């Protein structure tokens, strides 16, 4: 029998943060479709060439921001290096040059550039090997899976960060209590993952075409949160506000769960 080359933690997503689950449930965004949409929007072209702020740009920046934060924490000597052979380095350099040439063509839109970059990215991915991404198929549960793209895998290989670690970070960045607390205190921070979530919530990707089965609960929730925004005026602590929002948001989340 062949020895397995990868382990359960390489393909089983076992941890879904509570706030993320709630943020999706309240607005009827199916977890699997939302996560797959995110994966599909991560673009290696956006990682190396400047693009306008859109869902591709936000998804890609989520990975890059996390990598940057990890890099700051780690000792560079301990960081693993991508499994690329020396003879492939010049080939990769040539491919990267052809990608940056695309970004300099003023007649192309970001969408056209991403499309033309696809075959280059596939080649790059093949040169970079797979020391980090053991399998492109991840399991959310017994029935639902996620498929990683060449763009996503390539970034994981370059950054030496496992796909599930990136997805976990993405989910952890999406917290409605934190978002509302920060908004009220004008303490917004760069959060491309949240930007991606908000675009999807407003209809991007068509995950929820006007279909909100618990519209009555949601309407009450929006009323309650608008009142809470105002009644928290005298509380200037981020953590206190976050907890108050979490209490309220969980209350409405539980109402939906009880009804289902």
Partner 1 sequence: MKINCTFELPEDFQQVCDIFGYQPEQVLQRFMEEVSFPEFFSDPDNDHRWATLFFLYNMNTGDDELNNQLKEHQPYIDQMAKTVLKDPKKAEVACRKIMKQWHKHILEKRANKSSPE
Q: Is 183 in the site for partner 1 (CB under 8 A)?
A: yes
First and final CA of the chain: distance in angstroms? Answer: 45
Range in contact with partner 1 (rule: CB under 8 A) among 11-19, 149-157, 191-199, 232-240:
232-240
Q: Is 236 in the site for partner 1 (CB under 8 A)?
A: yes
Shortest distance in whole angstroms from residue 180 CB to partner 1 = 10
* Cα–Cα distance list, 77 to 80, 82, 184, 219, 258 (Å): 8, 14, 42, 53, 51
* Cα–Cα distance list, 53 to 27, 46, 110, 195 (Å): 23, 10, 10, 10
Instruction: Give residues 185-204 in contact with partner 1 (rule: CB under 8 A).
Output: 185-186
Q: Is 227 in the site for partner 1 (CB under 8 A)?
A: yes
What letter would DSSP give residue 3?
P
**Of the residues 14, 141, 206, 231, which one makes contact with partner 1 according to CB under 8 A:** 231
> Is the CB of residue 156 less than 8 Å from the CB of residue 129?
no
Q: Is 115 in the site for partner 1 (CB under 8 A)?
A: no
Cα–Cα distance, 166 to 186 (Å, whole number):
27
Range in contact with partner 1 (rule: CB under 8 A) among 58-66, 154-162, 168-176, 225-233:
225-233
Cα–Cα distance, 81 to 71 (Å, whole number):
13
Shortest distance in whole angstroms from residue 239 CB to partner 1 = 13
Q: Which lies closer to partner 1 via its Cβ, residue 122 or residue 236? A: 236
Q: Which lies closer to partner 1 via its Cβ, residue 91 or residue 244? A: 244
**Of the residues 55, 163, 177, 184, which one makes contact with partner 1 according to CB under 8 A:** 184
Cα–Cα distance, 195 to 56 (Å, whole number):
11
Residues that bind partner 1 (CB under 8 A): 183-186, 227, 229-231, 233-236
């Amino acid at each position: 029998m062949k020895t397995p080359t990868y382990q359960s933690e390489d393909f089983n997503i076992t941890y879904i943060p509570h706030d993320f689950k709630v943020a999706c449930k309240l607005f009827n965004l199916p977890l699997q479709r939302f996560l797959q949409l995110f994966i599909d929007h991560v673009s290696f072209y956006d990682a190396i060439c400047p693009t306008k702020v859109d869902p591709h740009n936000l998804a890609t920046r989520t990975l890059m921001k996390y990598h940057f934060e990890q890099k700051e924490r780690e000792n560079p000597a301990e960081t693993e290096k991508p499994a690329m052979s020396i003879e492939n380095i010049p080939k990769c350099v040539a491919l990267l040059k052809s990608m940056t040439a695309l970004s300099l063509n003023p007649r192309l839109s970001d969408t056209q550039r991403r499309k033309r970059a696809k075959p280059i990215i596939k080649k790059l991915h093949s040169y970079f090997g797979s020391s980090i991404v053991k399998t492109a198929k991840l399991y959310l549960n017994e029935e639902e899976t996620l498929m990683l793209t060449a763009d996503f895998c390539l970034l994981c290989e370059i950054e030496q960060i496992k796909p599930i670690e990136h997805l976990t970070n993405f989910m952890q960045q999406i917290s409605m209590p934190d978002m509302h607390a920060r908004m009220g205190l004008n303490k917004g921070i760069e959060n491309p993952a949240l930007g991606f979530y908000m675009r999807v919530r407003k209809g991007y990707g068509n995950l929820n075409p006007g279909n909100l089965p618990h519209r009555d609960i949601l309407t009450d929730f929006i009323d309650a949160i608008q009142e809470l925004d105002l009644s928290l005026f005298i509380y200037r602590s981020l953590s206190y506000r976050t907890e108050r929002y979490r209490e309220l948001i969980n209350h409405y989340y539980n109402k939906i769960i009880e009804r289902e």
